[in-house]
Amino acid sequence: MTLVLSLSVFAITTILLLWWQISQRKQSDALLEEAKEAQKAGRIQDAEEACRRAVASARRTWRRPQTLAVSLYDLAAVYFQQGKLEQAEQTAVEAFAALRRVGGASPVTIPLICLMAQIFKKRGKDLSAAPIFQVAIQLLRRSYGDRSIKVGTALHELGVTLMRVGVPERAIGVLEECIPIFEEHLGKDHSDVVAALTNLGKAQSEAGRYSDAERTYRRALAIREATVGPDHAEIALLLNNLAVTYKRQERIPEALACLRRALAIREANLGSDHPAVGLVLNNLANCLRLEKNYTDAETAVTRALAILENPPHMSLPIVLDSFAGLRAAQGRYEEADRFYAQCLQIHEGRPSSNLLELAETCERYAAVLYKLQKEKQADALLEKVSKLRSAREKLLTPTAVVHESAV
pLDDT of amino acid 46 = 86
pLDDT of amino acid 258 = 98
CA gyration radius, the chain:
26
pLDDT at 399 over 60: no
Give the residue with greater pLDDT, 297 vs 6: 297
pLDDT of amino acid 104 = 61
CA of residue 234 relative to chain centroid, distance: 18
pLDDT of amino acid 295 = 97
pLDDT at 10 over 60: no
pLDDT of amino acid 133 = 83
Give, to the nearest 10 degrees, the angle between helix 65-81 and helix 2-40: 20
Mean pLDDT of 42-60: 85
Give the residue with greater pLDDT, 21 vs 145: 145
Give the N- to C-terminal CA distance of the chain in Å, as an integer.
Answer: 85
Mind giving me the DSSP string for 104-130?
T-STTHHHHHHHHHHHHHHHT-HHHHH
Mean pLDDT of 16-40: 61
β-partners of residue 212 are none
| Predicted confidence band of residue 27 (pLDDT cuts 50, 70, 90) | low
| Predicted confidence band of residue 62 (pLDDT cuts 50, 70, 90) | low
Give the residue with greater pLDDT, 9 vs 224: 224
pLDDT at 24 over 60: no
| Predicted confidence band of residue 398 (pLDDT cuts 50, 70, 90) | low
pLDDT of amino acid 29 = 64
CA of residue 259 relative to chain centroid, distance: 24
- Write down the mean pLDDT value for the chain: 87
| Predicted confidence band of residue 28 (pLDDT cuts 50, 70, 90) | low
| Predicted confidence band of residue 23 (pLDDT cuts 50, 70, 90) | low
* Non-local CB neighbours of 264 within 8 Å, separated by 6+ positions: none
Give the residue with greater pLDDT, 260 vs 30: 260
β-partners of residue 267 are none
pTM of the predicted structure, to 2 decimals:
0.79
* Non-local CB neighbours of 234 within 8 Å, separated by 6+ positions: 194, 224, 228
Least confident segment among 144-158, 224-238, 317-331, 393-407:
393-407
For 187-234, write each residue's pLDDT tens digit: 999 999 999 999 999 999 999 999 999 999 999 999 999 999 999 999
| Predicted confidence band of residue 84 (pLDDT cuts 50, 70, 90) | very high
Are 246 and 252 spatial neighbours (Cβ–Cβ below 8 Å)?
yes
Domains of the chain (ranges plus CATH)? Answer: 25-123 (1.25.40.10), 126-229 (1.25.40.10), 239-308 (1.25.40.10), 313-398 (1.25.40.10)
Percent with pLDDT over 90 in the chain: 61
Least confident segment among 19-33, 45-59, 128-142, 211-225:
19-33
Mean pLDDT of 234-254: 97
| Predicted confidence band of residue 179 (pLDDT cuts 50, 70, 90) | very high
DSSP state of 271: -
Least confident segment among 109-113, 255-259, 297-301:
109-113
For 351-370, write each residue's pLDDT tens digit: 778 888 999 999 999 999 99
Q: Please give the C-alpha separations between residue 95 and each of 25, 59, 243, 338, in angstroms, as whole numbers.
A: 16, 12, 42, 45
Are 302 and 320 spatial neighbours (Cβ–Cβ below 8 Å)?
no
pLDDT of amino acid 129 = 81
pLDDT of amino acid 80 = 94
Mean pLDDT of 96-103: 82
pLDDT at 22 over 70: no
Percent with pLDDT over 70 in the chain: 88
